[in-house]
Copies of this chain bind each other. A is one copy, B any other.
Amino acid sequence: MTIEHVSSNKSFGGWHKQYSHASTTTHCDMRFAIYLPPQCSSGAKVPVLYWLSGLTCTDENFMQKAGAQRIAAELGIAIVAPDTSPRGENVANDDGYDLGQGAGFYLNATQAPWSAHFHMYDYVVNELPALIEAHFPVTQQRAISGHSMGGHGALTIALKNPQLFASASAFSPICHPTQCPWGRKAFTAYLGEDQSTWLQYDTVHLISQNRESVPMLVDQGLDDNFLKEQLMPSALAEAVTQTDYPLVLRQHEGYDHSYYFIASFIEDHLRFHAKQLAE
């Protein structure tokens, strides 16, 4: 479990750093970014928020555009942003932006050629937290959040691992991937034609199973181009209402799918996670 330092930038008194490592889960080199708040420099151990990005993103989008470091520095929370898929010349890919490299969908692929590397679910649930907790001054308190495909990842991973995460949140998540074009394309390729195997990665389905609860916050912009066809927050709202799941869904007039939306509300998410992590 060695990691290689890629870059460092001082940010709000703490440090944004990038590392790469040979992943035993995805069988390729993976890069991730971590923000260590100033509290770490004075010897404190801090909890970790895992951030999962959306289609086409790397570890960089959130760290550069969300403006989260200011609040993480105030609250004393580390943020870890993995890449959105395995990558490299030897890793399978597709011409579409919504399949293959940059589009791992936070699942374990079972179908060739994807099954050789595309195990982002295991990577985020197991390998990455173990690596982070071995190498950085962090506690085992964890929260998880993400955007779009990464919002789907954050919610499904928290729903399936309530013991691992104190809280989960999402911006513009793909709520019901078994029923939308992005999800159906990806799940068919990664998981095959048997749709019963898809359900384990569908937030609306998992919430209807009414598992052990994880407090959740979801923000959705109402001028999001992908709202009805891909994201389907109304299906999420219905599942939450039927099961009384502790998920707050906020809908925001005028906001779109971009990081301008995320930056506008990321402070609320960090304060929400800080409160859950403190309980």
The chain A residues found within 8 Å of chain B, CB to CB, are 9-13, 16, 64-65, 67, 69-70, 221, 223, 252, 254-256, 258-261, 263-264
Contacts and interface: CB of A to CB of B under 8 A. Distances in A.
A223 B64 contact: no
Contacts of A259: 64
A223 B263 contact: no
B69 A221 contact: no
B10 A263 contact: no
A260 B261 CA distance: 19
A254 to B, nearest CB: 4
Copies of this chain: 2
Nearest to A267: B70
The dominant DSSP class at the A interface is mixed
21 contacts: A9-B256, A9-B261, A10-B223, A10-B254, A10-B255, A10-B261, A10-B264, A11-B264, A12-B263, A12-B264, A13-B264, A16-B260, A64-B64, A64-B65, A64-B259, A65-B65, A67-B67, A67-B70, A69-B260, A69-B264, A70-B263
Contacts of A255: 10
B69 A9 contact: no
A62 to B, nearest CB: 12
B65 A260 contact: no
Nearest to A66: B67
B64 A11 contact: no
Contact of A10 (B9, B67, B260): B260
